């Protein structure tokens, strides 16, 4: 019985280490800015990688840890920002949308399994939910602080330029997960 307790303890410790590692990876990737017509970070890549590599439960927990680190003021978000002001600002909805992406991925893969097509479709659907939530948040906050803005303008600023890069990051994260997952078992 003691051997079983030790192995369960090691699994929990390993889970905590993986969760923490991917929360840190999200922070580091948020700091990496790729200059383009509209600069983008690798933050979404880290979220996708956490979910695809760790699975729904542990990946979601790593997103929660990342959000909590940022909420308490650590500069883990893009541009070395942190604190509630970053989460409550115009782009905070996209950051909070990572949690919706993670929860959706966890739910779908829990029901349908982690087959590659399920993983990819879950992440794409999660990205769409993140975009929708973030854009709604952006519109509300922007309207309160700067005046009215059309949905199409908000999508043009906050979503359209990021669709192709985010889909590339999603594909790379899924491909990487197939290579890395076999070493985590």
Q: Would you state the pLDDT for residue 101?
A: 98
Fold for domain 2-184?
Arp2/3 complex 21 kDa subunit ARPC3 (1.10.1760)
17-67: pLDDT as tens digits: 999 999 999 999 999 998 877 778 999 999 999 999 999 999 999 999 999
pTM for the whole structure: 0.91
- The structure tokens 């803005």 sit at 149
What pLDDT is stored for residue 137 in this prediction? 97
Q: Measure CA of the first residue to CA of the last residue in the chain; give whole Å.
A: 23
- The whole-number pLDDT of residue 35 equals 85
pLDDT at 4: 45
Which residues, given as ranges, of the chain have pLDDT below 50?
A: 1-7
Q: Is 185 strand, coil or helix? A: coil
Residues 6+ apart with CB under 8 A from 26: 43, 46, 47, 50, 62, 63, 66, 76
Report the C-alpha gap between 26 and 50 in whole angstroms. 9
The pLDDT mean for the chain works out to: 92
Domain ranges of the chain: 2-184
pLDDT at 3: 43
C-alpha span between 77 and 94 (Å, rounded): 11
Token pair recorded at residue 140:
């509300």
Q: How far apart are CA 25 and CA 62, in angstroms?
A: 10
Q: Looking at residue 154, what is its pLDDT?
A: 95
């Amino acid at each position: 019985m003691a051997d079983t307790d030790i192995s369960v303890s090691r699994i929990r410790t390993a889970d905590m280490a993986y969760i923490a590692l991917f929360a840190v990876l999200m922070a580091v990737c948020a700091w990496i800015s790729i200059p383009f017509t509209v600069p983008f970070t690798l933050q979404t890549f880290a979220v996708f990688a956490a979910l695809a590599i760790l699975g729904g439960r542990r990946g979601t927990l790593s997103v929660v840890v990342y959000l909590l680190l940022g909420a308490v003021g650590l500069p883990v978000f893009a541009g070395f920002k942190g604190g509630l002001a970053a989460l409550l600002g115009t782009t905070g909805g996209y950051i909070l949308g990572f949690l919706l992406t993670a929860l959706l991925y966890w739910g779908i893969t829990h029901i349908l399994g982690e087959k590659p097509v399920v993983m990819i479709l879950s992440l794409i659907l999660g990205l769409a939910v993140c975009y929708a939530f973030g854009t709604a948040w952006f519109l509300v906050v922007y309207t309160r602080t700067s005046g009215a803005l059309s949905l199409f303008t908000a999508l043009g600023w906050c979503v359209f330029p990021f669709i192709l890069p985010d889909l590339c990051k999603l594909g790379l994260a899924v491909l990487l997960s197939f290579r890395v997952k076999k070493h985590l078992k």
